[in-house]
Homo-oligomer: A and B are copies of this chain.
Amino acid sequence: MTHVHVVGLGMGPQHLTVEGAAALRAADYVLAARKGDVDELLEVRRAVCADHGVTLVEVADPERDRDQAADYPAAVRDWHAARVAAYAAELGARGGTAAFLVWGDPSLYDSTLRVLEQVADRVPLTWDVVPGISAPQVLAARHRVVLHEVGQPVHLTTARRLPEALACGQRNVLVMLGSEGSLGALEALADWSIWWGANLGAAGERLVAGRVSEVLGEVRTARAAARAAAGWVMDAYLLRAPSAGEAVA
């Protein structure tokens, strides 16, 4: 029986927890996907493994069809199926105790747990999960804000689904999986506040905060600069409607 520790790394090695480090040291090896020829996040994982005396085993990551935008769940399913086959082959052949180093937290917009459930149909497998710091938390920490007003909700969703969150009346929304194009939806929220961040926790981190109408241009510029500097960009942002008091004033 192969066992897997699914370890949330947080948004960088500075976020590794005491129990995350212990899980790494208890593992025989770490499986990590290689995406393309240059993979900065793989190199971060490699350094973390070296620090904790555990071997990193690379698995070539299948290509994800990002043009299949009209059927997002299907695109994700296909990509998962290819990952399942690749991980099942490695875990079946190696056995023992493996670990995965998940960027952020395994419970939020990450596929590792769903992939493992399918790997377990092919290879005898048990697993546990160690939580990690997620992008919304780093965003809030950098801007020194709470994610909601006192006693109020926060709605976490994807940039793709932001319009439906707004349509159903959400007034405090944390958005992940953004894209350049999806920022257009913010133009309708001129008097809302935004706390935005890109490549949070990494060297090329960018932050912008203010009233949407005043800072949306700055957000677009900072997003492009983050991508230019790092070769990749992931952003997250908190949107909050003006309070009743502000709207009256």
Contacts and interface: CB of A to CB of B under 8 A. Distances in A.
Interface of A: 6, 8, 10, 13-19, 72-73, 76-77, 105-110, 113-114, 127-134, 136-138, 140-142, 144-148, 150-158, 160-161, 165, 168-169
B168 A133 contact: no
A18 B11 CA distance: 12
A129 B144 contact: yes
Nearest to A80: B150
A72 B151 contact: yes
Contacts of A17: 10, 14-17, 133
Nearest to A135: B131
B134 A130 contact: no
Contacts of A165: 153
B169 A158 contact: no
Given A14-B18, A15-B18, A18-B16, A150 B76 contact: yes
Secondary structure of the A side of the interface? mixed
A107 B151 contact: no
Rank and list the top 7 A-B pairs by shortest CB-CB distance, nearest first.
Answer: A107-B140, A153-B157, A131-B137, A129-B141, A14-B19, A131-B141, A107-B147
A99 B188 CA distance: 40
A130 B10 CA distance: 12
B108 A146 contact: yes
A142 B128 CA distance: 8
A176 to B, nearest CB: 10
B16 A141 contact: no
Nearest to A169: B168
A144 B8 CA distance: 12
A140 B146 contact: no
A108 B156 contact: no
Interface centre among A128, A150, A165, A168 (most CB of B within 10 A): A150
A18 B16 CA distance: 6
A127 B108 contact: no
A106 B140 contact: yes
Contacts of A15: 17-19, 131
